[in-house]
A and B are shown apart, each in its own frame.
Chain A
Amino acid sequence: MSRTAQLRPVEERTADESLERLLRLTRETLTDGSWPAREGELRRLQDRLGTTRPRVRWSLVTALSALAVLLPAAWLILKRPSALTFEVIHGTVAAGGEIRPLDSGTRIQFSDGSQVVLDDGARTQVRDLAADGARIVLTRGRAHTYFVPRPHAHWQVAAGPYVVQVIGTIFDVEWSEENQALDVWLHKGSVTVRGPLIDGGVVMTHGQHLLMRIRDNKIILDRNAVDTAAGAARPSGHAGSEELAAADEDAVDQELDAREDPAVSASGGALATAPNRRGGMLEHGWSRHLARGDFEAVVTAAEKRGIENVLARGSRRELGALADAARYTRRGALARRVLRAEQTRFPDSTEGREAAYFLGYLAEDDGTPHKAVSWFERYRRENPSGTYGSQALGHTMMIHAREQSADAESDAREYLRRYPNGSYAEAARHIIKPQ
């Protein structure tokens, strides 16, 4: 009989059959026959028998000493915070790491809750990512930033030749390369701006606006017009002014959704009186909380309205904000429900299409890698040129690599072909290399 005829097709074999074959192979290959019956080994054993007790005692002492050294070291290693991570939402990452907005609301979300929202036309990069912060380079355009106040946080925003040194604050920054002009609007906290014309740096406090015009040798530090106007518009001394402002923003949120979602439009009542304040991070109710890092507020507001109610009738933006807030506050079960609702109710929207990616992300976090791969693959299938295409493929590749699956190599080749400078490119090369 020929060798080929002896072979059975792989497909015909069940997992149990394969395992049985492996067990038989192990039994037949690894036998007593490989026992090295060497006299030297016996002599070594006899020598050791005479010195066993002290040896054991020393082993114990050595092990305890090692533990005494290693445990504090391990504790220090575990205690040491790992570097921050970030994801780009509604944006693309070009070669070289430049982040470009796709539409309004493009956001760089950091793992500590800090975030940067980019206006249309803005160009930025995240560099020097560390455990306590990062350096954000704004090449052009306007960015709205929120940095979570933390001890020893170290954030910098570099805009042209200027550097804004940050310790937990909210501000907007804009750099115009053509005009060599910097604008900083500080909403909360304080920052120090350093660069040309201000060698010693300018310390800004809450509510100030800094304008730098290098060509005109002009420096203006005045009150922040936006904050002043907002302050004037609110009823002074009114205990519920914050709630009123939030209610206004919720109404704007509904209005914006009503234009996109007929179901919401039909139920909207107070829209005509709502002020239209589109643009910027103070635009929407839940989105506003999200932008400020107040994720709990979003979840609390949703719970107040009833999660089921929000899932069934909430607007697209509300679902998007709630899904993000749930993810950032590690409420995986809630996040999954919201994402599934996005898929069901708004299948053609960006949020609905991107939900698969985040579901994959959650599944991976939950330790269900195969489910994660399934979601990532669905995302890639439904969004061939989606924003998270490289991330989805990268995650899939890493999962396959961890599983020691042969798919890891094909994933790696595809990744390098499509994203040669992507964040998983190095890992992909590493996967292919040993072959």
Chain B
Amino acid sequence: MKAHRPDSSSSVVFLPSATLAGADDPTLVKGLCEDDPRATREAWHRFGPMVHRLLLRTLGPEADLEDLSQEVFITFFDRVKTLRDPRTVTAFLMSITAFKIRYYLRWRWLRRWLFLPGRTEPVDLRSVEQAPEAREALVRFFKVLDRLSPIDRTVFTLRYVEELELREVATAVDLSLATTKRRLARAWKRVSKLVSRDPALAYLLSELPDDDIDGGAKSGGTP
């Protein structure tokens, strides 16, 4: 039997990996720029939780989060080719999300003003929070946040809930550092005032065991 010998003209071919799970951000961005479907999937899985969390924390449980997430990613995939430094992809996506949030808040305001129908029923928070007092407190807190302007609300959430650095917040909302600081101080003062004027909120907080919510480290800080 004749032993099989490899043809001298043949070469080793590396088949593409089924996923880009191990790829770093620049590789992922390169894949996106080349319309690699694996990159789309990986970007969705890698950044999806962050986008969802940002939307959820800024807009609260009432918003159409899934549709908004999709809008964010559609814009992201469309604009990713304009990204100069692929290492900043997270900040880039955060900036797109912040823009979508502001757009959505403005549109929601206009819709209410024109009496156009829209989703108003709150999302059921029972899956993420067991205590009814905590759920009610969150709903009331988001009603307080509804009183802020879209831009103030966005910077407030990015800084105090998402705990971004001041410079990151400023970049995300495309404002100067000084303007961002001013808006943050104003938003904090207003939210603090509105919270203090809501006796029901104070009651609900008093009903929560301190251990439940006081465990986290204080960050962002009072301005």
B-contacting residues of A (Cβ < 8 Å)?
A: 3, 6-10, 13-16, 18-37, 41-42, 44-46, 48-49, 52, 70, 74, 403-407
Structural contact, B74 and A32, CB atoms closer than 8 A? no
Structural contact, A30 and B128, CB atoms closer than 8 A? yes
Please tell me which one of the listed residues B70, B129, B208 contacts residue A44 in the complex, with CB atoms under 8 A apart: B70
User: Known contacts A26-B57, A52-B74; is A405 also within 8 Å of B199 by CB?
Assistant: yes
A15 to B78, CA, bound (A): 43
Structural contact, A34 and B128, CB atoms closer than 8 A? yes
A37 to B69, CA, bound (A): 11
Structural contact, B48 and A25, CB atoms closer than 8 A? no
Structural contact, B41 and A13, CB atoms closer than 8 A? no
Please tell me which one of the listed residues A3, A29, A36, A407 contacts residue B199 in the complex, with CB atoms under 8 A apart: A407
Q: Using Cβ atoms and an 8 Å threshold, which residues of chain A touch B175? A: none
Structural contact, A33 and B128, CB atoms closer than 8 A? yes
User: Known contacts A32-B50, A45-B74, A49-B74; is A20 also within 8 Å of B218 by CB?
Assistant: yes
Structural contact, B48 and A16, CB atoms closer than 8 A? no
A22 to B134, CA, bound (A): 9
Which of B74, B140, B213, B216: most chain A CB closer than 10 A?
Answer: B213
| A408 → chain B closest CB, angstroms | 11
Structural contact, A22 and B205, CB atoms closer than 8 A? yes
A29 to B131, CA, bound (A): 11
Q: Using Cβ atoms and an 8 Å threshold, which residues of chain B touch A46? A: 37, 40
Structural contact, A41 and B66, CB atoms closer than 8 A? yes
| B152 → chain A closest CB, angstroms | 14
Question: Is the CB of B82 closer than 8 A to any CB of chain A?
Answer: no
| A28 → chain B closest CB, angstroms | 6
Structural contact, A19 and B195, CB atoms closer than 8 A? yes
Structural contact, B73 and A45, CB atoms closer than 8 A? yes
Question: Is the CB of B8 closer than 8 A to any CB of chain A?
Answer: no
B193-214 vs A, CB cutoff 8 Å, 1 = contact: the mask equals 1011111111101111111111
Q: Using Cβ atoms and an 8 Å threshold, which residues of chain B touch A14? A: 196
| B69 → chain A closest CB, angstroms | 8
A10 to B202, CA, bound (A): 6
A355 to B4, CA, bound (A): 109
Instruction: Give the interface SS of chain A, mostly helix, strand, loop or mixed.
Output: helix
Q: Which residue of A lies closest to B51 (CB)?
A: A35
Q: Using Cβ atoms and an 8 Å threshold, which residues of chain B touch A49? A: 40, 74, 77
Please tell me which one of the listed residues B37, B192, B210, B222 contacts residue A8 in the complex, with CB atoms under 8 A apart: B210
Please tell me which one of the listed residues B129, B140, B163, B202 contacts residue A13 in the complex, with CB atoms under 8 A apart: B202
| B109 → chain A closest CB, angstroms | 14
User: Known contacts A9-B206, A16-B222, A24-B213; is A406 also within 8 Å of B44 by CB?
Assistant: no
Q: Using Cβ atoms and an 8 Å threshold, which residues of chain A touch B48? A: 35, 37
Q: A16-B222, A24-B216, A404-B143 are in contact. List 20 more A-B contacts (CB 8 A).
A: A3-B209, A6-B211, A10-B202, A15-B193, A16-B192, A20-B218, A22-B138, A23-B220, A24-B213, A25-B141, A26-B141, A27-B163, A27-B216, A28-B216, A34-B53, A37-B48, A45-B74, A405-B198, A406-B200, A407-B199
| B53 → chain A closest CB, angstroms | 5
Structural contact, B44 and A21, CB atoms closer than 8 A? no
Q: Using Cβ atoms and an 8 Å threshold, which residues of chain A touch B181? A: none
Q: Using Cβ atoms and an 8 Å threshold, which residues of chain A touch B203? A: 10
Contacts of B142-166 to chain A: CB distance below 8 A: 143, 160-161, 163
Contact size range, B: 35 or more
Structural contact, A35 and B197, CB atoms closer than 8 A? no
A428 to B212, CA, bound (A): 37
Which of A13, A27, A32: most chain B CB closer than 10 A?
Answer: A27
Q: Using Cβ atoms and an 8 Å threshold, which residues of chain A touch B192? A: 15-16, 18-19
B173-204 vs A, CB cutoff 8 Å, 1 = contact: the mask equals 00000000000000010011101111111110
Q: Using Cβ atoms and an 8 Å threshold, which residues of chain A touch B41? A: 42
A9 to B202, CA, bound (A): 10
Q: Using Cβ atoms and an 8 Å threshold, which residues of chain B touch A31? A: 53, 128
Please tell me which one of the listed residues B125, B188, B196 contacts residue A18 in the complex, with CB atoms under 8 A apart: B196
Q: Using Cβ atoms and an 8 Å threshold, which residues of chain A touch B201? A: 18, 22
A136 to B189, CA, bound (A): 49
Q: Using Cβ atoms and an 8 Å threshold, which residues of chain A touch B188? A: 19
Q: Which residue of B lies closest to A44 (CB)?
A: B70
Q: Using Cβ atoms and an 8 Å threshold, which residues of chain B touch A406? A: 198-200
A29 to B213, CA, bound (A): 9
User: Known contacts A34-B56, A37-B48; is A25 also within 8 Å of B137 by CB?
Assistant: yes
Q: Using Cβ atoms and an 8 Å threshold, which residues of chain B touch A21? A: 205, 208, 213-214
A10 to B45, CA, bound (A): 43
Which of A6, A15, A403: most chain B CB closer than 10 A?
Answer: A15
Question: Is the CB of B127 closer than 8 A to any CB of chain A?
Answer: yes
| A43 → chain B closest CB, angstroms | 10
Please tell me which one of the listed residues A29, A37, A41 contacts residue B70 in the complex, with CB atoms under 8 A apart: A41
| B77 → chain A closest CB, angstroms | 6
Q: Using Cβ atoms and an 8 Å threshold, which residues of chain A touch B114? A: 70, 74
User: Known contacts A6-B211, A49-B74, A70-B114; is A29 also within 8 Å of B205 by CB?
Assistant: no
| B140 → chain A closest CB, angstroms | 8
Q: Using Cβ atoms and an 8 Å threshold, which residues of chain B touch A29? A: 125, 128-129, 134, 138
Which of A30, A31, A404: most chain B CB closer than 10 A?
Answer: A30
Structural contact, A8 and B74, CB atoms closer than 8 A? no
Q: Using Cβ atoms and an 8 Å threshold, which residues of chain A touch B56? A: 30, 34
Structural contact, A32 and B222, CB atoms closer than 8 A? no
Q: Using Cβ atoms and an 8 Å threshold, which residues of chain A touch B45? A: 37
Question: Is the CB of B26 closer than 8 A to any CB of chain A?
Answer: no
Structural contact, B74 and A25, CB atoms closer than 8 A? no
A22 to B140, CA, bound (A): 10
| A204 → chain B closest CB, angstroms | 46
